[in-house]
Copies of this chain bind each other. A is one copy, B any other.
């Protein structure tokens, strides 16, 4: 079952003005849609980052996969490694190496893993389709029939300053009261059973107040907060101590494994990360330091779904727990995330999803990928179990062509409003 064609389609989706420690989401979020066709006429789908650097590497690798068997994943990985290591200098970039953004250095393990993952997932989709089996079966068989996701709460503006399209329906959220309202609607519409608050936006004391307001209003729902390294270690420790007993975990309050471990020793809740442990070579230091204790897996940058299973074994071996990271994503990614969530034994928390914030869609609606009580049923159809709406992809590609966004950059749109803005972290040196 050999690859005969790979189409890589950049798309752009409308993204609300969500705030984080780097700045504010751009008007559009970028994704790449990868369509792989094989000699026997099957089609496999993948979804990953859509910035220009990722597109460059996807397009450089794709022709080299012509004729490669979709089961030959180790060989595909070696082709990706060769392409990126040999040609690391073929594209220069001064892109920010921000949260979840792996493309800054072509030679890094994380970058190569991200490019490999973009092809691994459609190959697994194809393997599953050729077998008439869901991808979760190729990963050892599901341990659960539904995967739990958490409400992903953001502070936000009412709309983008340039008003490129009508404002979203969520309004401005910059106070504890408005955040409780955002949460109420999100829980009501999706049934989420846990809450993730994107922090690092307001002074820490106000974010503590927001957590307390959420806890008061939703006492049964565990809450986590993720300030994306906006705090100093002292601030992180103070927040952790103020919120003793209130957080299921504290995610990336500071930068770097060593600083995370310093915080971990002074607070009661576990530390979680998708910033300091983002590839296998990062793990030995975390094991040595004893923190962070929770890794937010993400098949998009850990090297695909099979390597996510390997990460799962590694976590089980060292007593680490898994949660799951998300960037802005659409339905192909959600399906892949759900297949891994179905098999991961170390998964101890609800997974992240940006789902509620995207109003555009590229898959044909299915019962399985619809949120109920905050969870998604693991697709049981062949492969990823999603049917892609190619007209919708074409429309979002047209949006990509015209929207002007070509890379993830949360700093510049904030600087347009606040010329002194740098996006540097840590930003908050006191509560």
Contact = CB atoms under 8 A, between A and B. Distances in A.
Contacts of A25: none
Contact of A283 (B75, B78, B317): B317
A148 B334 CA distance: 42
Contacts of A72: 137, 141
Contacts of A306: 140
A425 interface: no
A284 interface: yes
Interface stretch (A169-177, A267-275, A308-316): A308-316
Given A131-B130, A131-B131, A284-B287, A74 B313 contact: no
A429 interface: no
A143 interface: yes
A280 interface: yes
B280 A316 contact: yes
A317 B281 contact: yes
A141 B75 contact: yes
Q: How many copies does the complex hold?
A: 2
Interface string A132-148: 01000110111100000
A311 to B, nearest CB: 8
Contacts of A74: 140-143, 343, 345
A215 interface: no
B280 A313 contact: yes
Contacts of A131: 130-131
B141 A317 contact: no
A104 interface: no
Contacts of A283: 317-318
A360 to B, nearest CB: 34
21 contacts: A71-B141, A72-B137, A72-B141, A74-B140, A74-B141, A74-B142, A74-B343, A74-B345, A78-B143, A140-B306, A280-B317, A283-B318, A284-B317, A284-B318, A284-B319, A287-B287, A307-B313, A310-B310, A311-B313, A314-B314, A314-B317
Interface of A: 69, 71-75, 78, 130-131, 133, 137-138, 140-143, 280-281, 283-284, 287, 306-307, 309-311, 313-314, 316-319, 343, 345
